Amino acid sequence: MPIAHRFAILLTTLHLAGCPAVEETSPSAAIDTERGHEASEEASPDSVEWPRHGLDHDEQRFSPLDRIHRGNVDELGLVWSFDLEERRGVEATPLMLDGVLYVTAGWSVVYALDAASGELLWRHDPQVPRSFLAKGCCDAVNRGVAHRNGRIFVGTYDGRLVALDAKTGDVIWDVQTTDRSQPYTITGAPRVAGDKVVIGNGGAELGVRGYVSAYDADTGELAWRFHTVPGDPAHPFENAEMERAAATWSGKWWKWGGGGTVWDAITVDPELDLLYIGVGNGSPWNQELRSPDGGDNLFLASIVALRPDTGEYVWHYQTTPGETWDFTATQHIMLADLEIEGRMRKVLMQAPKNGFFYVLDRETGELLSAEPYTTVNWATGIDPETGRPIETTDARTFDGEHVVVPSNGGGHNWPAMSFNPKTGLVYIPTMVFPATFKSPTEKVDREPGGGRWNVGFDRMGAAPPELPEEEVNRILDEAFSGQLVAWDPVAQKARWKGKIGRPTGGGTLSTAGGLVFQGGQDGHIHAYDAATGEDLWSHDTQTGAMAPPITFALGGKQFITAAVGFGGGFAAEGGVVAHGWKIPNVPRVLVFALGGNKQLPPSEVTERPLPKPAPVTATAEVVARGKVVYQRQCAYCHGDGLRTGGLNPDLRYSPPGIHQIWEKIVIDGILEANGMVNFAEFATPEDAEAIRQYVLSEAQRLHESRQ
């Protein structure tokens, strides 16, 4: 891929994530404690809820509702929409309980909406300090809430777990789950396991040690915590697993944090009394720095099974030993019973970033099969005996030239898969784009704490300037693609593949109506034939759609709901790819039903005026230095090569007033309340001025290109 190679960018992470939905009534338990009321009362098929993140504990996201089906889906139309106030990305799976939709927006804000009308019942803003924006990699997003016994639980971007009264939104308890002085964030949805609420966190791009915690749902008291990587061996290990894990590390990994954050997948298995967590990448990414003598570095990039009551370790399976490419195993973990070689197996399925689709025996962690679900060039396969990937000889070539696929963004990221037991297929939003890695050339990048972002590789990005923008976009659209893949997990092969579009395709929903619903970056939500992939219906969303849709029934009528809005890691880092797409971010909840005919308000996309930039007054050397510092410290939020995905300010458009107070912003942090924290620890006033000169030089170039 010579063209992709030419533009190969060290892109940052793109965190950029059946049983019927009708009530689970069992003779021995008339009252479902998770629901907190008489389960039988709502067993009417006229009302079918979406009570958990993945619909049921198995997280298959397969609804038995079939009133909307292949034959009538073309009559599907909008019945209401609701604008979310927060102008950040939208990644939430809503819940629908008792006629109320609970949906989260940016900054961990929770909305309760009347599911039939869209009327706002309450809104809870947990008041996350905006300075936390710089403590995360991938936008102040949130993927949803959990529910138990009349309470709604949300993890907040500043690391709290909050219990709210489902009726009023009043705070019942609010606990800090992380050290606020460290760059921990929470974007994932909590899960309820028995009488506990389980929550992880993120931050492995910025140097933290990962863990997952369980809190008493009634009191908010910490019940247990399981770390995913060992801490400083000078202190006692928390448990025998940490001691065992430490033997797979070398050097002084704890100074870097080690990583292994559990930022999305947490799957509860009441049947086997297990809890499965998906563990993230190493911190820093570059294993040569964090563990110089190699080693597997447990439990990075692993699926770990724990006892939900105690947090005790039961088994683990490591997808990527010695992880070094940001190949997290945090992606959606789905449970199913599948017949494999004539025998029914209780399996767990995952399509982690590394490009292989795994089917494990979830009682034991035994690998049953693994095959590539997308283009993979770093390993030729998974050894069925050892369960380990067979790496290619050049997989760990970090010269800035060698292209690795999948990229650090993954063959699949957080947008959820779904499984249709009738077709036997798993619907995976896949991605293909290249990444190159380059070992750090500057000393500062070879040490812990060298920057707010230090993944141990040089940033390679910045735009190819010579070509016209349309040409760049055309090339990038070919090199950066997303595709819905219908995967047979038993045969381990694709049964159909959707049209090639932009990464990342949104999460998916499967229904008994023979449909797969998915949004995308083309500004539409689609319904595909689950058996063939035929595009049967689409509707304008006016914005990128990343979150997985849900479905529910009220009063005998089936609804399809999607929370839409562009944002997340891709939009924050931007670069020529996301910048070129020019996808507006319009955070909204959209609700569809048969016969719906509401129209969205007209969308307004206006070209922003570019202030005439002041001349560059520094030497070419200073400008070049400014670019280096910018790429290291600023690009993850303000865009690779000063090109944003529209989420954070495009600095080339900075008015003269901003240039006048530049040093006060960068060094003194006077805009901290907006999320622009001070960088005094990582940049000198001379650095700040060099960055400013680089910004001016790029603004000049943009200005000239428009003359």
Six-digit token string for 110? 């929770």
Judged by CB under 5 A, the stretch of 157-165, 237-245, 274-282, 383-391 that binds Ca ion is 274-282
The identity of residue 142, as a single letter, is N
Q: Identify the residue among 326, 640, 689, 698 touching Ca ion (CB under 5 A).
A: 326
> From CA 565, how far away is CA 523, in angstroms rounded?
9
Six-digit token string for 409? 């963004």
* CB closer to Ca ion, 331 vs 430: 331
Catalytic option among 32, 195, 296, 326: 326
* CB closer to Ca ion, 13 vs 551: 13
Please identify the residue of the shown chain whose CB is closest to the bound Ca ion.
Answer: 13
- DSSP per residue over 30-77, as a string? SEETTTTEEGGGG--TT-B-B-STTSSTT---EE---SS-TTTGGGEE
Q: Helices (H), strands (E): how many in the chain?
A: 12, 41
| Smallest separation, CB 204 to Ca ion (Å) | 5
Judged by CB under 5 A, the stretch of 17-25, 322-330, 364-372, 549-557 that binds Ca ion is 322-330
| Smallest separation, CB 47 to Ca ion (Å) | 40
* CB closer to Ca ion, 204 vs 476: 204
Judged by CB under 5 A, the stretch of 273-281, 534-542, 618-626, 637-645 that binds Ca ion is 273-281
Six-digit token string for 460? 């390679």
Nearest residue to 572 (alpha-carbon basis) of 169, 88, 205: 88
Judged by CB under 5 A, the stretch of 9-17, 287-295, 305-313, 350-358 that binds Ca ion is 9-17
Cβ–Cβ under 8 Å, residues 149 and 142: no
Q: Does 330 bind Ca ion (CB under 5 A)?
A: no
Judged by CB under 5 A, the stretch of 319-327, 414-422, 456-464, 617-625 that binds Ca ion is 319-327
| Smallest separation, CB 14 to Ca ion (Å) | 9
Judged by CB under 5 A, the stretch of 66-74, 280-288, 527-535, 592-600 that binds Ca ion is 280-288
* CB closer to Ca ion, 261 vs 423: 261
Cβ–Cβ under 8 Å, residues 68 and 530: no
Q: How many residues bind to Ca ion according to rule CB under 5 A? A: 3
Q: Does 281 bind Ca ion (CB under 5 A)?
A: yes
H/E stretch holding 358 reads strand 356-361
* CB closer to Ca ion, 298 vs 530: 298
| Smallest separation, CB 198 to Ca ion (Å) | 20
| Residues 617-646 close enough to bind Ca ion by CB under 5 A | none
Q: Which CA distances in Å does 291 have to 256, 326, 364?
A: 10, 15, 29
| Residues 496-535 close enough to bind Ca ion by CB under 5 A | none
User: Which residue is it, tokens 């959707």?
Assistant: 498
Cβ–Cβ under 8 Å, residues 82 and 113: yes
Six-digit token string for 436? 């190159």
* CB closer to Ca ion, 86 vs 326: 326
* CB closer to Ca ion, 281 vs 320: 281
> From CA 300, how far away is CA 82, in angstroms rounded?
39
| Smallest separation, CB 245 to Ca ion (Å) | 19
* CB closer to Ca ion, 325 vs 679: 325
| Smallest separation, CB 84 to Ca ion (Å) | 26
| Smallest separation, CB 282 to Ca ion (Å) | 9
> From CA 400, how far away is CA 438, in angstroms rounded?
4
* CB closer to Ca ion, 104 vs 281: 281
Cβ–Cβ under 8 Å, residues 606 and 614: no
User: Which residue is it, tokens 């399976």?
Assistant: 317
Q: Which residues pair with 592 in a beta bridge?
A: 78, 560
> From CA 532, how far away is CA 517, in angstroms rounded?
13
Helices 685-705, 620-633: inter-axial angle, 10-degree rounding: 100
* CB closer to Ca ion, 326 vs 650: 326
Q: Does 585 bind Ca ion (CB under 5 A)?
A: no
Q: Read off φ and ψ for residue 575, nearest 5 degrees.
A: 75, 180
Residue 394 annotated among the catalytic residues of the structure: no
| Smallest separation, CB 437 to Ca ion (Å) | 14
- DSSP per residue over 333-348, as a string? EEEEEEEETTEEEEEE
Nearest residue to 49 (alpha-carbon basis) of 93, 103, 100, 104: 100
**In this structure, are strands 282-283 and 266-269 parallel, antiparallel, or unpaired?**
unpaired
Burial grade of 344 (CB within 10 A; 0-12, 13-18, 19 or more): exposed
| Smallest separation, CB 448 to Ca ion (Å) | 17
Judged by CB under 5 A, the stretch of 323-331, 499-507, 521-529, 676-684 that binds Ca ion is 323-331
User: Which residue is it, tokens 């609010």?
Assistant: 174
User: Which residue is it, tokens 């400013």?
Assistant: 692
| Smallest separation, CB 443 to Ca ion (Å) | 24
- DSSP per residue over 498-528, as a string? ---BPSPPPPEEEETTTEEEEE-TTSEEEEE
b/e code 54-65 from CB counts within 10 Å (16+ = b): bbbbbbbbbbbb
Q: Does 296 bind Ca ion (CB under 5 A)?
A: no
Q: Which residues pair with 152 in a beta bridge?
A: 147, 164
**In this structure, are strands 62-63 and 508-511 parallel, antiparallel, or unpaired?**
parallel
Q: Does 13 bind Ca ion (CB under 5 A)?
A: yes
* CB closer to Ca ion, 302 vs 369: 302
| Smallest separation, CB 326 to Ca ion (Å) | 5
| Smallest separation, CB 608 to Ca ion (Å) | 31
Cβ–Cβ under 8 Å, residues 15 and 138: yes
* CB closer to Ca ion, 284 vs 498: 284
Judged by CB under 5 A, the stretch of 214-222, 281-289, 304-312, 679-687 that binds Ca ion is 281-289
Burial grade of 703 (CB within 10 A; 0-12, 13-18, 19 or more): middle
Judged by CB under 5 A, the stretch of 10-18, 118-126, 173-181, 678-686 that binds Ca ion is 10-18
Q: What angle do CA 163, 176, 229 make, to 5 degrees?
A: 115
> From CA 413, how far away is CA 13, in angstroms rounded?
9
Q: Which residues are catalytic?
A: 326
Binding footprint of Ca ion on the chain (CB under 5 A): 13, 281, 326
